[in-house]
Structures are given as C-alpha cells and as structure tokens.
C-alpha cells in the first residue's frame, strides 16, 4: 500500500469520527496557537522597544542634575546650565548634538479652543538629538533660538487638537496668553514605553521658554533641566561618557573623592534593560505554552490508545483481508500525525486570528514570523510521530485472531 493510500485511509478514519478527532486536535490547536501567539507577542514587544529606541534618538545620553553631597550631608540641587552644554559641545569631538532643555506645562489657546500641554524649551540641537523630524513647515532658525523669538513647533497631538485638518504653519496661537507663531509641525512619535503621548507638546526656543513661559530658575544663570547628548557611534558611548563626566566635574569644581552632582544616563541602555526583562518574561510564557503543546501530544496518545482498543475488530478484519502489520502501524501513525499536523495548521490560523484581532482591538503589537509558523507545524508533526508511535505499534502487534474475537 503506498503512502497516498495510507493517508487517504487515515483521513477517512478521522472523518468517520469527526467529533472525537476535533476534540483530540483541540489540545494541539491550543498549544500551537499559544506558542505562536506568545512568540509573536514577544517579537512585537521587541519591535516596539526597538522603535522606541529609534524614536528616542540614537546613542543618546541624558544628563540630569543630581544632589551634591558635602561630607555626607545632602546639599541643594546643583543646576546644569546652557554653558555646561556648550562646554561639552566644544570639548568632546565625538558628539553630534548637545541639546539643553527645560520643560514645563503651558496653556495653549486658539480662538475658543483651549489645550493644556507640555512646553519644551529647546535649541537647534534638540531635534537632531532626538532624531525628530518636521512634517510641515520648518525648524527654528539660529537667530530665532538666540533672540528668544516667539515662534513655536507643535507636536502632532497638539496640531490635531487645535487645527484638526487645517493648516497649522503660519497661524498664531497663544501660549500662556503670549501670541506665538507656529513655524512647524512635528512628526508623530507615538507613546513612550510608559504610555505617555510624546506628541502632546509644543517646542519653543529655550530662551523664550525661560524668559516668557516658565520663568528663570534660581542658582545659576541659564539653568537647564536636562542636557541631551547624541553620540556619533555606539562604540564611543563609554569614552564620551567619561569625557562628559570629566568636563562637568571640572566645571562644577568637584574635588577628587567628591560625588558627582549630576547623573549621566545612557538612554538606549535603559530601554535595553527593560527590553531584556520583557524578553525573559516572553520566553517564560512561550515555555509555558510549549508545555501545553506537550500536554496536547499526550492527549493525542491517550485518544489513539482508546481508538486502537475500540477498533480492535477493525484491525483484526484488516489483517484477515491482507493488511500486513506494517500497514496497520503506518495507518495509525499517519492518523496521529495527521491529527497533530492539522491541529498545528489550525493552531497557526487561530494564532494569526488572535494576533490580528488583539492588535486591532487592544492595540497590542504582534510580529508573526514565518519561521516560527513552519517550526510549530513541523514540531506538531514530530509530536504526532512521538506520541502516535506507541499506540500504532500496539495496534500493529495485535494478533489477528484475538482481535477478531474481541468483544
């Protein structure tokens, strides 16, 4: 008997017991669907994190003020200034952009529309450091930054809230009652990893923000909250970090042995750390899902054993009319493999359905990889062989006379 015939016989047998076959497959279906969904979800989360890193800007340092310590006692917060930023830019050759920024809240009004949003004071380097593009209009010109001009870049969310479909560039909006001209609209960046809308903001020249909107912070002239530093290449990060630390320590007159009064954070590293955690979590989920696949395989074995017992007479009959014991083995083995493979394929379809559905409804991100799909189907076929072999061999070894007499 050739293979096609064997497959046909197996399929016929499965079809005559449709309900049972379906229930048996369910274990594999759920297992495969779970594995693929988990892996796809993991890959989706990974991609999201990669996107976040890209959105954040590449090879980025964030320098924030820390607390100074004097003989163990905490002193007041030491401020960073625009001069610190300029010093870094002038003295470190491997930086692409150094962007001092300040940040606060502001009320934005256009006609009778009122929107409360984040205002970010930036200089010309900020968009470079953050790898942020303008979709409409233009960036600030250097003289606007220097002169503290009343110009504003609006984030995608703000643009939508205030202008809807209408043209934003060229319009005047009131920011904390001060009329400012919109010169550009920022590209949409989406949410941060913490669920914040990054596009709900406006940007103004840093001087404008300080003098007109947020007010001068005490302590140091031209104080800034954060300095962003973008480095040319990933491998330079460590070196640049050391240089920045040296420059800032010198500028803040810290003695050797004294703690830094600022913090230099590698942003990509931070995101990577979180990514690592979510990767481990996802692998754990996938492992649990694989267990359910094995449980599904045991279910197949169980049903195949029942089926062999139940069909003892059929086996006896087939032997009597000329089936060799190998024919019986192959038949039951193919039944098991077919159940598993079919279950695997249905599981894949289910996983695709779940992924697409959950992505559409809950906004989760999934990355289906065809390698995983092929592997899952192959793996379920292997499960079929593994768990189907024992029942099939049992069927093949039955004595035809005993089998025919079986009640």
Partner 1 sequence: MADPLIIFDCVSRYYRVGDEAVKALDKVSLRLDVGEFVSVVGPSGSGKSTFMNLCGCLDTPTSGRVMIDGVDMAGMNDDQAAELRNAKLGFVFQQFNLLPRTSALDNVALPLLYAGCNRRARHQAAAQALDQVGLGDRVKHQPSQLSGGQQQRVAIARALVNKPILLLADEPTGALDTSTGAEIMALFQDLNDSGISIILVTHEAEVAEAAKRRLAFRDGKLLHDEALKQVRINHQETRIV
Residues that bind partner 1 (CB under 8 A): 1-2, 5, 9, 12, 16, 313-314, 316-327, 400-401, 404
Coil/strand/helix, residue 200: coil
CB of 333 to partner 1, least distance (A): 17
* Shorter beta-carbon distance to partner 1: residue 272 or 327: 327
Question: Is residue 47 a contact partner of residue 367, using CB atoms and an 8 Å limit?
Answer: yes
* Shorter beta-carbon distance to partner 1: residue 202 or 333: 333
* Shorter beta-carbon distance to partner 1: residue 364 or 406: 406
Beta strands at 262-266 and 60-65: parallel, antiparallel or unpaired:
antiparallel
CB of 314 to partner 1, least distance (A): 6
Q: Please tell me what DSSP assigns to residue 197.
A: B
* Shorter beta-carbon distance to partner 1: residue 104 or 400: 400
CB of 45 to partner 1, least distance (A): 48
Structure tokens at 110: 């256009």
Structure tokens at 340: 């598993």
**The Cα angle at residue 374 between residues 373 and 377, in degrees rounded to 5:** 85
Q: Is the backbone of residue 275 left (phi > 0), alpha (psi -120 to 50) or beta? A: alpha
CB of 355 to partner 1, least distance (A): 37
Question: Is residue 190 a contact partner of residue 178, using CB atoms and an 8 Å limit?
Answer: no
* Shorter beta-carbon distance to partner 1: residue 16 or 116: 16
Structure tokens at 52: 């976040």
CB of 347 to partner 1, least distance (A): 27
CB of 321 to partner 1, least distance (A): 4
Coil/strand/helix, residue 150: coil
**Residue partners of 208: CB distance under 8 A and separation at least 6:** 121, 148, 149, 150, 151, 180
Residue 210 CA, distance from chain mean position: 36
* Shorter beta-carbon distance to partner 1: residue 260 or 327: 327
CB of 324 to partner 1, least distance (A): 5
- Calpha distance 301→377 (Å, rounded): 18
CB of 354 to partner 1, least distance (A): 34
- Calpha distance 103→101 (Å, rounded): 7
* Shorter beta-carbon distance to partner 1: residue 73 or 321: 321
Structure tokens at 384: 């079929």
* Shorter beta-carbon distance to partner 1: residue 257 or 322: 322
- Calpha distance 311→214 (Å, rounded): 83
């Amino acid at each position: 008997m050739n293979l096609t015939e064997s497959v046909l016989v197996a399929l016929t047998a499965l079809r005559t017991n449709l309900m049972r076959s379906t229930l048996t497959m369910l274990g594999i279906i759920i297992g495969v669907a779970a594995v693929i969904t988990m892996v796809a979800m993991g890959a989706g989360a990974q991609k999201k994190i990669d996107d976040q890193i890209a959105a954040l800007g590449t090879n980025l340092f964030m320098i924030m003020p820390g607390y100074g310590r004097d003989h163990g006692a905490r002193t007041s917060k030491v401020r960073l200034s625009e001069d610190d930023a300029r010093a870094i830019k002038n003295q470190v050759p491997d930086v692409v952009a150094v962007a001092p920024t300040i940040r606060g809240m502001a009320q934005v009004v256009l006609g009778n529309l009122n929107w409360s949003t984040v205002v970010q004071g930036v200089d010309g380097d900020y968009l470079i450091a953050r790898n942020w593009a303008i979709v409409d209009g233009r960036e600030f010109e250097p003289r606007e930054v220097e002169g503290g001009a009343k110009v504003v870049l609006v984030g995608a969310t703000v643009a939508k809230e205030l202008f809807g479909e209408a043209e934003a560039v060229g319009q005047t909006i009131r920011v904390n009652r001060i009329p400012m001209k919109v010169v550009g609209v920022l590209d949409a960046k989406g949410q941060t990893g913490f669920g914040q809308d990054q596009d709900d903001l406006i940007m103004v020249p840093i001087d404008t923000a300080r003098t007109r909107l947020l007010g001068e912070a005490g302590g140091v002239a031209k104080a800034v909250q954060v300095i962003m530093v973008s480095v040319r290449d990933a491998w330079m990060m460590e070196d640049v970090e050391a240089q920045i630390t040296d420059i800032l320590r010198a500028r803040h007159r810290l003695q050797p042995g004294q703690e830094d009064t600022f913090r230099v954070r590698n942003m990509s590293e931070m995101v990577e750390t979180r990514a690592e955690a979510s990767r481990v979590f996802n692998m754990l989920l996938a492992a649990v899902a694989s267990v359910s696949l094995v449980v599904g395989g045991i279910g197949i074995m169980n049903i195949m054993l029942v089926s062999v017992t139940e069909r003892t007479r059929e086996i006896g009959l087939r032997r009597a009319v000329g089936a060799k014991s190998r024919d019986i083995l192959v038949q039951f083995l193919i039944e098991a493999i077919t159940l598993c493979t079919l279950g695997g394929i249905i599981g894949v379809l289910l996983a695709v359905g779940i992924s697409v559905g959950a992505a559409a409804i809950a906004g989760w991100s999934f990355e289906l990889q065809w390698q995983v799909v092929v592997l899952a189907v192959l793996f379920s076929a292997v499960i079929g062989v593994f768990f189907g072999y024992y029942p099939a061999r049992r069927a093949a070894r039955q004595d035809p006379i005993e089998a025919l007499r079986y009640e």
